[in-house]
Each structure stands twice: as structure tokens, then as C-alpha cells.
Amino acid sequence: MLIRPEMPHDIAAIRDVIKKAFDRPTEANLVDILRDRNVLTLSLVATEGDCAIGHIAFSPVTVGKENSSFKAVGLAPVAVLPEYQRRGIGSQLIEMGLKKCQKAGQNAVFVLGSPGFYARFGFVAAATYGISYEGDVPPEAFMVKELSPGILGDRPGIAHYQPEFQMC
């Protein structure tokens, strides 16, 4: 299994992986929209041989007032083909995605999802930092991980995903 940035020839296979993982097209459409709008900050594909078996995407999130020195992304979606799930591939996609975001200078990563799942990667409730999501979601489902320690200490506000609602 190899994890690498997506290439143009992966696009159809990525769509297929996401659709099969979620059993609906919504999240695959979201990734296509992000790519079309040039806001797919990071897109990694897990492959086995020539086949795509997993995928993860990150796209921009702003918190409060615009501030060019603060860079954050949202993790969404992450998907692994049903027959490949529970083998650690999703976790490896998340870990590698977080490392690449940090290397690229991102300060924080947000996610909307299951606290039980994302806590293992160091995500905590965004409310801890006084940051809330603009939409109607359970507060504990909106989480964040600092990539620059201390960066969120003085940054309360409302987080905006660009451009779409992204539940993972």
C-alpha cells in the first residue's frame, strides 16, 4: 500500500472510492467541487498496485477575521473502500495528511466527525479554544488539532469552511 498525492489520472478512481465508502455521491461531489474551485489544499490517495483504495482531502478553513498569518484546513472527507477498511489505511491517510499539512505550514486542522475516532490523532473539541462551527452540529463533533503549538490560544471565533459544509 502506497500513499501519495493525487494525480490527474486518479480522479475517476478517487470518486469511485469515496462513493463506495459512503454509499452515496455527496462526498465525492464535494471533492470534485473543491478541486474545480482550486481549493483542494491536499488530496492524498492510497493505492495497492494500480488501484485506488483510499483517499483523504483537506481544504481551507478560516476562523474569525481574515489574517494572512493564520493558515488552517479542514479534513474532509476520508474514505477507504469497504473491503479494505479496518486495516489501518484510514489512520495512515490521516497521519500522513496531518504531517504534510504541518510541513506545508498549516497552523491547525479542523474536522467535523466522531470524537471517538479523531481523538486518537490528537483532535480535541474546538470549543476548548472558544472556536465554534457556523452550522448546526453537535458541539463535540467539531474538533481541531493544533499543528503550531499554542496557535489557537488567542483565536476564539466562528470557523468557516470554504466553500461547503463538510461533515466527515
Q: Which is nearer to ligand COA, 115 or 130 (CB)?
A: 115
Q: How far is CA 57 from CA 37, 71, 90, in A?
A: 14, 16, 12
Q: Measured between alpha carbons, how far is residue 85 from residues 31, 43, 88, 138, 166 in Å?
A: 20, 19, 7, 26, 21
- Position 80 contacts ligand COA (CB under 6 A): yes
Q: Is 90 in the site for ligand COA (CB under 6 A)?
A: yes
Residues 93-152 that bind ligand COA (CB under 6 A): 113-114, 116-117
Q: Does 21 bind ligand COA (CB under 6 A)?
A: yes
Interface with ligand COA includes 165 (CB under 6 A)?
Answer: no
Contact 122, 145 (CB under 8 A): yes
Q: Which residues bind ligand COA (CB under 6 A)?
A: 21-22, 77-80, 85-91, 113-114, 116-117, 168
